[in-house]
Amino acid sequence: ILNVEQSPQSLHVQEGDSTNFTCSFPSSNFYALHWYRWETAKSPEALFVMTLNGDEKKKGRISATLNTKEGYSYLYIKGSQPEDSATYLCAFGQAGTALIFGKGTTLSVSS
C-alpha cells in the first residue's frame, strides 16, 4: 500500500514568520506531485503540480520544490500572513493511477 506522509501535522506561527512543510512519498514509478490548500469552509484549491525531479514552482509567497529520487517535496511560505491559515495537502500520483493524498499540515498564523 502506497503511503504519503506529511509533516508536521500542525504548526502555529506568528505573522511574518517563514515556514516550510514536508511531503514524503514513494520514490518509485513517480508521475506527479500535487499541492493543495484547504481553507476552512471552502474546498481544496490547487497550488502546484510538479512532474520533474528538481522542479521548483512559485506562486506569490508560496513555493515548492521536488526531489523524486529521494521521494520528498517541500512547501515554503515566506512571511506568513493570517490568510495563509489553512490545511496544506500533498498528493502523489503514479502513471494511470489515482492520486494518493497525505493527511495534511494545518497551519495557523497569528497576527
Count of positions on this chain that bind another protein (CB under 8 A): 24
Q: Nearer Cβ to another protein, position 72 or 101?
A: 101
Pick the closer one to another protein by CB: 98 or 111. 98
Distance CA 11, CA 85 (A): 10
Site for another protein contains 55 (CB under 8 A): no
Closest contact distance (angstroms) between CB of 85 and another protein is 19
Interatomic CA distance for residues 80 and 83, integer angstroms: 8
CB count in 10 Å sphere of residue 61: 13
How far from each other are the two terminal CA atoms of the chain, in whole angstroms? 41
Residue 17 CB-half CA count within 13 A: 14
> How near is the Cβ of 74 to another protein at its closest, in Å?
19
Stretch that binds another protein, among 14-22, 57-65, 68-76, 89-97 (CB under 8 A): 89-97
